[in-house]
Each structure stands twice: as C-alpha cells, then as structure tokens.
Amino acid sequence: MSLPYTTNPRSWDVLVAGGGTAGAIAGIAAARAGARVLVVEAQGSLGGTGTNAWVTPLMRNVSAGRNLNRGLTDELKARLHARGDGATDPGGNDNWFNPEGMKFVLEEMLLESGGEVLYHTHVVQPLVEEGRITALVVHNKGGLQALRAEVFIDSTGDADVAVGAGVPFHAGDEEGLHQAMSLRFTLAGVDTERLCAFLNARGQGQTGPSFLHFWMVWGKRSTLEPLFREAVAAGVLEERDGDYFQGFSVPGRPGEISFNCPRIRAELNDGADPWHLSAAQTDGRVAIDRLTAFCRRYLEGCESAYIGTVAPMVGVRETRRVKGEYTLTLEDILDCRRFEDSICRNHYPVDIHSVKGGARLLHEREGTAPYFAPDAYHEIPYRAIVPYGITNLLVPGRAASSTFEAQSAIRVQQNCHTMGEAAGIAAAWAAREQGGRVRCVDVAALQTEMRRLGGNV
C-alpha cells in the first residue's frame, strides 16, 4: 500500500530530525551559523534524554580536572544556573540540572537563534535520489507531508533517517544484544536532611543535602547492599532491582530525588523495537512501585515520599550505530587516539550496562592503558558522523559510527552536545557553500570556528 502525502511549499537549509540531546544543540548551532533551520521533534519539548527521559545530572567528562565539552554546553549550563535550574557542587562539578528547566532553556536558545521547531511530529521516510536526501516524510496531526531541505541531520538517536535512506548500520554487541534500558523517576516529599545523615552514617559520604548521590549495584561493595538483600528476602524487591540503583538531588526541586533506575528486564533491550519500547514502559512502572516501597521502608527521610515524576520517555543507551567514513573503536579510546579531523574530546569511561548474566555493569576507571591517566582523552573524528552512501546527511550523537564498546563511552550527553554543535555548523556551511555535500566541508575551518565559539577541539 502506498499512502499519499503532501509536500510543504517551504524548504530549509538544514532539517534536524530529532530535537534531543544532539539535535537541539545542532539546530541552535546551525541557526547561529546563518542557516534556515527546522527541528522536527516527536515529543513536546527539546532535550530528549536530558529532559524527556529525565537523565540528570550530566555525567562528568573531564581531563586533568577540566571539562572537555565546552562551547554551547557551557552556555547551556550557564543559563540553567542563572534560572536556578543548574548548580555546582563543592567539588566543582557543574553538571547538576533540572530537566524541566532544560526544556525552557533549549527552546529559548533555538528560537533566539532564529531556528524553528515542529513538535509532535514523527519521522516516516526520507526521499532519496541518487544518494541525496531531497525531503523527509513526516507524520503529525496534519497527516503525511514531505519537508524539503538542503542538508539533513539525523539526531533521532536510533539513526531512523539514515537507516530509512539505506545507510548500513550495526546494532547491539556481537550477539545482537543491546545495553539495558531504564525508566527514570523521582521521589518527592523526601526529608533530604535526614536522608543525608542516614547515608553518611551508612558510609556513603555526602557533601550535603543539596547534592545527594547514592547507589547500589550487586557485588560492587555498596554499603546499601545489606538493605537490598533484606528487601529481596522480604519480597519488597526482586533480585533484578539490585542490578543498578542510583539516586541524585535535583537543583530547583527541593525535597526531590531523581533515580537512574529501574532497569528494564533483560529480554527487553532493543529501544528500536516498538514492542520492546512499549513493554519497557509497563515493566518500568511496576518496578518503580517496588523501588518506592523500598525507599519508604528502608531509607530514613523517605517514609512519606511519593512518586513525583515518571519520565515520559524510556532511557535508551544504545540501538543502531551507522557505518560511517570512520568507525571509532575500543582501541582508539584506550590508546587515546588523536584525529586530524577531530570534533570532540572524551574521557568518559567505557560504561556498558549489560543484560547478560554475570557482570551487569562494566564501568572501569582504573587500568594500565593510556586512557586511565587523569589527564588523558581520545578524540572523535568528523568522519564518524558522516554515514556511508548519502551526500547530505550527518549523524551526531549516540548513533554515530562506533563499535558497541566505543559507543558506551561516547554516548553521554555532553559528547552528544559537542558532536551536535559540530554537525550544526558543518550542515549550515555545506548548505550555503557546498550544495549540501557534507564531505566537502573544510574540517580545519570547522575546528577553528568551534574554538572561536569556546569549543575544546
């Protein structure tokens, strides 16, 4: 069956599919570079993982104590801090933020830059002619319509546009298994003073009630593990609830804790499978009820806590990864590989949330490889966001060209910001000067421009 669609009479220089972590920043960067930009987003706000999946705080990415992701990331943090939705802890970590505040900040940045956004709109199919995308068919309340642009940025996180255009891709590990998904939530009504004292007494040292961070993973020597064992024995929790448990304070939301859990059950691990994704929502909500009961019963200060927020979007760590002009590998990371066409620096560790039996968390920060030095970092090349086979498409973010292991290190939000910023500038330049051909962008000039804008490349 072939469904009819209309073609929007307007066209843009750059169309960004997915206004998430990489896409929102890409749209802002492209608009500031002078392009006519449209960001198409399935949800009702920008930010993706950081907002609609409630992944907070940002994971630190530092070398020799200095942030590696700068440029628009710095501006985003500064704006969050200015409105009381961001904070810096006593240790200098400036990555604490309120996801609801980030929705406002990203939207303001995009609109102030002259970009447009079309919410509640889903990618259907790119239209391709001779290796070039001419338009993107989308679906929303207006039905099916084609949106035309000179350059396209696929920041769907799952490479939906790239795959639809025929770009080859990898998915999962050597067995086709993906990283575990999570459905994040918050507990409100928490007495954080009492919880802070309780955690300190339990050996999980805290700097104060405004910057709480506590955790438990089976077999990782967490001082909370005996409480989890007791709760499993009492039928309050299931064994898998202890595979990963982590809580954080949230700036601008006193008395509320954001949880980086529950993990979704192991067989539901493909965030690009609609049945897995739907079942993850229901499985996650049942697990949230268990974790809420646990916190009320076993964590002092949480006796009267209640569910404040359940993320409207499942937290997906990895699905499809495009095959690009270069594929970043684990060896590149551990050997601190540098690239002439570098667009991003990373020192976040390999961080695999496994669904296999045995080790459930592979997150190593110590070893003999060069990458484990405190002042180390590796680079991500521009070629990793340039997919095979299409002349006018860039794929920044977690779907960039990388192996399963390498993706686990580069997927964190701040790296997605930086890749998105590079993609946005490059797309604007390609649309204006190169007939949309992203491979023709002068990467040395791109690096110079990123540095002029405060970037660290």
Query: What is the structure's pLDDT at 359?
Result: 52
Determine the Cα–Cα distance for residues 21 and 418; give it in Å rounded to an integer: 10
pLDDT number for residue 358:
54
Lowest-confidence region among 128-142, 206-220, 246-260, 362-376 = 362-376
Kindly state the average pLDDT of the residues 437-450. 98
Quick check: 1 pLDDT over 60?
no
Judge whether residue 360 has pLDDT over 60.
no
Q: Is 434 in contact with 440 (CB distance < 8 Å)?
A: yes
Residue 115 in this model has a pLDDT that exceeds 90: yes
Phi and psi torsions of 4, nearest 5°? -75, 150
Q: In Å, how far are 173, 278, 318, 319, 371 from 272, measured between CA atoms?
A: 15, 11, 9, 6, 31
Cβ contact 184:99 at 8 Å: no
User: For 115-121, what is the mean pLDDT?
Assistant: 98
| CB distance 367 to 422 below 8 Å | no
Average pLDDT, the chain: 96
Task: Tell me the two tokens of residue 429.
Answer: 């330049």
**Residue 361 vs residue 423, higher pLDDT:** 423
At 356 the pLDDT is 82
| pLDDT score recorded for residue 357 | 62
pLDDT at position 364 over 70: no
| Residue 301 to residue 296: CA distance in whole angstroms | 8
Q: Is the pLDDT of residue 363 over 70?
A: no
Tokens standing for 42? 């399935």
Tens-digit pLDDT profile for residues 268-324:
999 999 999 999 999 999 999 999 999 999 999 999 999 999 999 999 999 999 999
Assigned token pair, 222: 């967490």
Q: Which of 16-25, 358-367, 394-403, 429-438 has the lowest mean pLDDT?
A: 358-367
* Alpha-carbon span 168 to 380, nearest angstrom: 20
* Residues 401, 323 contacting (CB under 8 angstroms): yes
**Could you tell me whether strands 351-353 and 361-363 are parallel, antiparallel, or unpaired per DSSP bridges?**
antiparallel
pLDDT confidence band for 178 (50 / 70 / 90): very high
Q: Provide the pLDDT confidence category of residue 181 given band limits of 50, 70 and 90.
A: very high
What's the confidence (pLDDT) of residue 64? 96
Kind of pairing between the strands at 6-17 and 37-40: parallel
Q: What is the pLDDT of residues 191-231, one digit of tens each?
A: 999 999 999 999 999 999 999 999 999 999 999 999 999 99
Per-residue model confidence (pLDDT) at position 368: 84
Q: What is the mean pLDDT of residues 421-437?
A: 98
Query: Phi and psi at residue 338, in whole multiples of 5°?
Result: -105, 150
Residue 171 has pLDDT above 80, yes or no: yes
**Cα–Cα distance measured from residue 397 to residue 54, given in angstroms and rounded to the nearest whole number:** 17
CA distance 257 to 196: 12
For residues 352, 247, 183 and 98, what is the CA-based torsion angle, rounded to 10 degrees? -110
* Neighbour count for residue 44 (Cβ, 10 Å): 10
CA distances to 171, 398, 419 from 439, in Å: 25, 20, 16
Average pLDDT over residues 74-81: 98
> Is the per-residue pLDDT at 361 higher than 80?
no
Query: Is the pLDDT at 365 greater than 90, yes or no?
Result: no
Largest pairwise CA distance in the chain: 66
Measured distance CA(310)–CA(187) in Å, rounded: 9
pLDDT score recorded for residue 195:
98
